[in-house]
Chain A
Amino acid sequence: MEWHWGDWEEHDNTSPYFHWADQGSGGAPFISDNEDLSEDGRFFAQARTLFRWETSKTPEKGFEVDSSKMVIPNYAANSGYTPKVPDDATLDVLSDIPPGTEDVTPLRNDTIIAGVIDIGIPLGHNRWRLKTGKTRLLYAWQMMAPWTLKSQAHLPFGAEFSEGAINGLLKKHSGEGCEGWLNEQDFNVDTGLISFKHRQAQRGAAGHSSHGAHVLDLVAGMDPKEAGDFQERVRIVAINAPTAAVFKAAGTHLDDYMFYAIQRIADIADAAWEAKHPNFNELQGDGSPAVKGFPIVINMSFGKQAGSKDALDEFPAKLARFVKQRELDGWSRVRFVMPAGNDNLSRCNAMLEPESGAVKKLNWRILPQDHSANYVEIWGNNAGELPVTISLKSPHSKALFLKNPNPNYLHQYRDLCHDNVLVARVYLSHIALDPVNAEGADEKQNKPHQKYRYVLCTAPTHWANDVSPEVTGNIPPAIAPSGLWEIAIHNRSNEQVQTVLSVQTDQALSASDGVNLRSYFDDPGYERFGENGAELESYSFPPNSKKEAENLDIRANSPVRRHGTMNASAAHAFVARVGGYRVSDGRPAPYSATGRGRERGQDDGTVLGSLLTSGRKGAPTAAFPTEDSPAHFGILAAGAADGSVAAMRGTSFASAQGARVLIKLLMRADNTRTENKMLYEEAKLNRNGTYSTDMIEVLGGGTIDRPDKQNMPRF
């Protein structure tokens, strides 16, 4: 039972999540079909050259995704894909619609594009069709469809369906007029949405409810027979992204797929606009060129928990570049909406603030028979020398101190072995703010723009696969011990420091998968339940007669906090962030994540006022209903099958309502404000009697009614 650390090793800028899975002990424990494996026996596609989206108008300014670090299932990958060099890039996203021969409904000049990136979005629902029975979708990219389904050379993976192609398949499966009963399961197979052949193919839309159907209905669904012009004006680009089985339980590759999706939505919308405006050269009143492009609203009901939660994270940094570049190029603003997240009560967020020379400890509970790796990120301010070191204690070892990181390494890692088996690793990186985003930082507060990040990685605690020597090569599978691990922060600086710790997301790898269990911070001081037995939330509810609500985190004597659980992918200024509330009384949904927290107008830690900010937006922008009935949890919207309704709960569906409110405001030619300003001001107009500004960290500017309820009289 010998434990020891290896030496610090220099590391490139590869994501620790990818590195731990690819060259560590964090690999996904599932075996795939032989036919899905590449020649060298890997499940995922071979590394490729740096990818730039070929159809981007300004490819040198598009999202850069390093596909050598991205995983794409072989059945979905275009093995012959060659990215075009920027000089060759042409605006040809609509080139597979021969003019006059495809079955398309012309776009209006006042079209608004609703982009929805989700999983399990069925393409045939009547609620995203026109009165003619034809689709309102301009395009749908099924990222995880077998590439051979359409063999489209321009796609790096998956299959894409144009409006004409979707209408063709609607006719095939429901009759020439698109009006008959739709044989939806076979339609869904033909449109690459579901497949029962491949282990990790998408099947979410084969059940009675589907995340993507619910979200798209809330964003842009409408009865095609309903009066008004919503259906004609709001056209849709749907991107069916991979599930966690592909992008990994901890969201390792989620960002890359999001970048592809965002860029594609914008390209399609812009190409459609250019097709309608071939010689556009209008000027504004001041003589400057008029803004090009349809308004675009993109809902991304995704996220992960751990991160810097500001513009130092890769996702917001790239999103900010994208938004700014479009503005520079004279294109319409893309407005993004994301959920606050559902981790409020998951005990996944903590703050440790050791004084100079002191040590602060936190218990990290890793569950037995967990088939996936576990991760904790630790972030802190790093204005000069690294202020803290850490130690890690397994359930069966003494504290293992991690001293003397190499000051010359920007990125480094160190292995923890148990009887010579690699069971854990710690990565340390120094991360600086993207200079492009420095403009957005709050200069008045002289906030530092550099942080350090530790990522603690442990192996799964259970190995479900074959462990016979011929499979494992006589190397025993790496199993981390389950139980109570201990993380300690050693402050070696001259002043008290603040560190933020968060347990990374651990999503189910497949339907009904109960084997990748999420770890959590198990602190004895954390109060889960109040005196009446009810689970404690972020604030007391209802507010008192003075409209004051008590911050229950501040009252508690624990570093584990609900404040700060905000979705890391959304905790920045470049998206609108949406939480959930209960309609009957305005109470925040207990799971709806909380912003960083405020005390006397300052972001606060447990003791220190936070200095950990750079373009961060900790609080939600607004809140939408996520519970609207005494008869069921969640809210009603489209189920997986056309015409069906399901109740689903979570801030994903609040986010979708936020996107719909933006669309409705844009329909009123309200085209100048940012997404955050639009939703925040709308929320202020809607504040009801139980709203307290003390609860801004969970409800944002206020609660907003469900935007489509007048179109759904039965609800």
Chain B
Amino acid sequence: MVWVGGTQGGTQGGTQGGTQGGTQGGTGDGFSSPLLAAAINLSHDATVGYWEPTSTTISTPKAPTDHLSLEYLSETRKSQVLLAELSGVFQVKAIAPGEGGSFAGATLDIGPTSIASIHKEDFDVASQLKFLRGYADLRNDRLAEIITQRDDIMPFFAAIAPMNLWQKKSTVALLRAVHNLTIQLEMQIKHYCRSLRPADYATQVQPVIPTPDHSSFPSGHATEAMVMATVLYYLRTGASIAAQAAPAPELRLAHRIAVNRTVAGVHFPVDSAAGAVLGVSIGEAVQSLAEGKALNTRSYLKGEIFLNDTEDFTLTWLANAVKGGAGGSKSDANVPLFANLWTNAIAEWR
């Protein structure tokens, strides 16, 4: 599996290593090596001498009192704590398999409320493959986006709403946590919706990036992009992205990121449609949890929000789809650390 490490190390090392190495080296867990350890050991022996801990030789550091703040942690640690807190709230359940034995989809629950029900429906593969054939004409035009967004979609949202670590520290931490949460949830949901990729059906698809191992349905990129769009739009404006008459910039971007995966050859339009519904659900749910508001519920299901297999995943379809959803009850779940970060993030914008 050397090639996996080779490609992932190359791209992720390049982008993540650059920023994490820079910040963590100075402020995080720090850098260690046998050379540095040996040097400090030698220095210690040479400078400390004999000492005995007594009340006069130990200092009295200020004990932490704000138990909601995670500011003392590095970005990675912060994200881990938040992810653990949020993960405990969500639960993915398989929708009972049909007679054929394959899973029929999955629900994403918070307590007794299913905030998203993603139903896997049979579709006419040939009809959907026609869209892949047509969108392939745009590959030359979109290669830079496709390759960049394979690993990281955040710079595109940061282009809409600038987010640097000095002015939007809480926002960045919040989006990172929500993004990590989304990946965990979507991968579990994908597992219960297992479906093949376009290239599995036709040798002519020939995606311009490696075909991922996980389920085609629902699209992870559509899910993550819609989560980011939903949360960021709310932070930025205080309004719901689903309630806008004209598609907000974040919604347009989420749509484009999702479509780029069809252009690349790794997703059907129906994958993007289901992913977008899941994404807006997760985005709304974390807002409800943080603000103690009632949950919203949505279903990707024939007869409700659904993309017919002869239709394209258009921005008009998406804008109408996110307007749907029904109001649910307020959750008992308690996410105090995330809620505190949410409040701080909002303060950075409004």
Q: What residues of B have a CB within 8 angstroms of the CB of A512 in the complex?
A: 137, 139-140
A197 interface residue, CB < 8 Å from B?
yes
Contacts A175-B245, A175-B246, A196-B131 hold; do A185 and B138 have CB atoms under 8 A apart? no
A195: contacting residue among B134, B139, B247, B315, CB under 8 A: B134
Q: Is the CB of A180 within 8 A of B133?
A: no
Q: How far is the CB of B244 from chain A (nearest CB, A)?
A: 11
Q: Chain A's nearest CB lies how many Å from the CB of B185?
A: 29
Q: Does B293 contact A (CB under 8 A)?
A: no
B interface bracket (residues with beta carbon within 8 Å of A): 10 to 19
* Separation of A185 and B133 alpha carbons in the complex (Å): 18
Is the CB–CB distance between B139 and A197 below 8 Å?
no
Tell me if A529 counts as interface (CB < 8 A to partner B). no
Residues of B close to A175: CB separation below 8 A: 245-246
Contact in complex: B141, A207 (CB < 8 Å): yes
Query: Which residues of chain B are within 8 angstroms of A183 by Cβ–Cβ distance?
Result: 246-247, 315-316, 319
Q: A197-B134, A510-B137 given as contacts; is B247 within 8 A of A189 (CB)?
A: no
Task: Name the one of A33, A181, A189, A203 contacting B138, with C-beta atoms under 8 angstroms.
Answer: A203
Measured between alpha carbons, how far is A601 from B281 in the docked complex, in Å?
77
**Chain A: CB-nearest residue to B249:** A181
Q: A198: which B residues are within 8 A, CB to CB? A: 130, 134
Cβ–Cβ contact B316 & A186, under 8 A: yes
Chain B CB within 8 A of A410 CB? no
Q: Does A632 contact B (CB under 8 A)?
A: no
Chain A residue nearest to B314 in the complex (CB)? A186
The chain B residue with its CB closest to the CB of A512 is: B140
Could you say which residues of chain A place their CB within 8 Å of the CB of B312? Answer: 189, 196-197
A609–B154 Cα distance when bound, in Å, is: 67
CA distance A208 to B133 in the complex (A): 19
Q: Which residues of A contact B315 (CB under 8 A)?
A: 183, 185-186
Q: Are A181 and B137 closer than 8 Å at their CB atoms?
A: no
B131 and A197: CB pair below 8 A? yes
**CA gap between A181 and B319 in the complex, in Å:** 14
Q: State how many angstroms separate the Cβ of A29 from the closest Cβ of chain B.
A: 14
Q: Report the nearest A residue to B132, measured CB to CB.
A: A196
A174 to B315, CA, bound (A): 13
Instruction: Decide: A33 and B245 in contact? CB cutoff 8 A.
Output: no
Contact A196 B246 (CB under 8 A): no
Q: Which of B137, B247, B314 contacts A511 (CB 8 A)?
A: B137
The answer to whether A678 has its CB under 8 Å from any CB of chain B is: no
Whole-angstrom CA separation of A379 from B114 in the bound complex: 76
A196 with B141: CB separation less than 8 A: no
Contacts of B141 in A (CB 8 A): 206-208
A171 to B: closest C-beta gap in Å = 12
Q: Are B247 and A206 in contact (CB under 8 A)?
A: no
With a cutoff of 8 Å between Cβ atoms, the chain A residues found around residue B156 in the complex are none
Query: Given that A186-B316, A196-B131 are contacting pairs, would A511 and B246 also be in contact in the complex, using a CB cutoff of 8 Å?
Result: no
Query: In whole angstroms, what is the CA distance A183 to B248 when docked?
Result: 11
CA of A422 to CA of B139, assembled, Å:
36
> Which B242-274 residues have C-beta < 8 A from chain A?
245-247
- Quote the shortest CB–CB distance from B129 to chain A (angstroms): 11
Q: Mark B128-151, 1 if CB is under 8 A from A, else 0.
A: 001101110111110000000000
* A189 neighbours in B (Cβ, 8 Å): 312, 314
Contacts of B138 in A (CB 8 A): 203, 206-207, 511
Do A180 and B246 have beta carbons less than 8 Å apart?
yes
* Minimum C-beta distance from A694 to chain B (A): 40
Per-residue CB proximity of A548-581 to B under 8 Å, as 1/0?
A: 0000000000000000000000000000000000
**Which residue of B has the minimal Cβ distance to A173?**
B316
| Shortest distance between the CB of B261 and any CB in chain A (Å) | 14
Interface of A is mostly: loop
Contacts of B139 in A (CB 8 A): 512
CA distance A410 to B245 in the complex (A): 67
**Of residues 147 to 186 in A, which have CB atoms within 8 Å of B's CB atoms?**
173-175, 180-181, 183, 185-186
Is the CB of A201 closer than 8 A to any CB of chain B?
yes
Complex Cα distance, B265 from A262, in Å, reads 39
Given contacts A183-B315, A185-B315, contact A196 B247 (CB under 8 A): no
Across-interface contacts of A206 in B (CB, < 8 A): 137-138, 141
Shortest beta-carbon distance from A707 to chain B in Å:
29
Q: Are A181 and B135 in contact (CB under 8 A)?
A: no
Chain A residues in 8 Å Cβ range of B135? 196
Contacting pair A201 B316 (CB below 8 A): no
Bound CA–CA A522/B272 (angstroms):
51
Most chain-A CB neighbours within 10 Å: which of B135, B137, B138, B245?
B137
B247 touches A203 (CB 8 A): no
A53 to B232, CA, bound (A): 55
Which B94-147 residues sit within 8 Å CB-CB of chain A? 130-131, 133-135, 137-141
Q: Which residue of B lies closest to A33 (CB)?
A: B130
- A34 to B, closest residue via Cβ: B126
Residues of B within 8 A of A173 (CB): 316
List B residues 41-77 near A (Cβ within 8 Å).
none
Contact B314 A203 (CB under 8 A): no
Cα-based distance from A643 to B227 in the complex (angstroms): 28
The one of B133, B245, B319 that contacts A199, using a Cβ cutoff of 8 Å: B133
**B246, A181: Cβ atoms under 8 Å?**
yes
Contact across chains for A196 and B245 when beta carbons are under 8 A apart: no
Question: Please, which residue of chain B has its CB at the minimum distance from the CB of A187?
Answer: B316
Kindly provide the distance from the CB of B131 to the nearest chain A CB, expressed in whole angstroms. 5
A510–B134 Cα distance when bound, in Å, is 10
Find residues 501-542 in chain A having any chain B CB closer than 8 Å to their own CB. 510-512
Give the chain B neighbours of A201 by CB distance below 8 A: 134
Most buried by A among B133, B135, B138, B140: B138
Question: What residue of chain B has the Cβ atom nearest to residue A185's Cβ?
Answer: B315
Q: How far is the CB of A183 from chain B (nearest CB, A)?
A: 5
Contact of A203 among B137, B245, B246, B319 (CB under 8 A): B137
Instruction: For residue A691, give the distance in angstroms from its CB to the closest CB of chain B.
Output: 38
Chain A min CB distance to B145 (Å) = 10
* Of B130, B134, B246, B314, the contact of A185 (CB 8 Å cutoff): B314
How far, in angstroms, from A173 to B139 measured CA to CA in the complex? 26
> Is the beta-carbon distance between B140 and A197 smaller than 8 angstroms?
no
Within 8 A of B (CB), among A13-47: 33
B residues in contact with A203, CB < 8 Å = 134, 137-138
Q: How far is the CA of A510 from the CA of B314 in the complex (A)?
A: 23
B130 touches A197 (CB 8 A): yes
CA distance A293 to B245 in the complex (A): 43
Q: Which residues of A contact B131 (CB under 8 A)?
A: 196-197
Binary B-proximity of A404-445 (CB < 8 A = 1, otherwise 0): 000000000000000000000000000000000000000000
A511-B140 in contact (CB<8A):
yes
Q: Are A196 and B134 in contact (CB under 8 A)?
A: yes
Bound-complex Cα distance A180 to B140 (A): 30
A206 to B138, CA, bound (A): 7
State the Cβ distance, B139 to closest chain A Cβ, in Å: 7
In the complex, residue of chain A having the shortest beta-carbon distance to the beta carbon of B317: A186
Chain B residue with Cβ nearest A190: B316
Neighbouring B residues of A510 by C-beta, 8 Å: 137
Determine the residue in chain B with the shortest Cβ distance to A174: B246
Given contacts A196-B135, A208-B141, A512-B139, contact A181 B130 (CB under 8 A): no
C-alpha gap A553/B315 in the complex (Å): 55
A196 to B138, CA, bound (A): 10
Q: How many angstroms between the C-alpha atoms of A173 and B320 in the bound complex?
A: 13
> Which residue from chain A places its CB closest to the CB of B137 in the assembled complex?
A511
User: Assuming A183-B315, A183-B319, A197-B312, what are 16 further A-B pairs, CB within 8 angstroms?
Assistant: A33-B130, A180-B246, A183-B247, A183-B316, A185-B315, A186-B315, A186-B316, A196-B130, A197-B130, A199-B130, A199-B133, A201-B134, A203-B138, A206-B137, A207-B138, A207-B141
9 contacts between A and B (CB under 8 A): A174-B246, A175-B245, A175-B246, A180-B246, A181-B246, A189-B314, A197-B134, A199-B130, A510-B137
Nearest 7 A-B pairs (CB), nearest first?
A196-B134, A511-B137, A207-B141, A512-B140, A186-B316, A203-B137, A196-B131
Interface residues of B (CB under 8 A from A): 130-131, 133-135, 137-141, 245-247, 312, 314-316, 319
Query: What residues of chain A have their CB less than 8 Å away from a CB belonging to chain B?
Result: 33, 173-175, 180-181, 183, 185-186, 189, 195-199, 201, 203, 206-208, 510-512
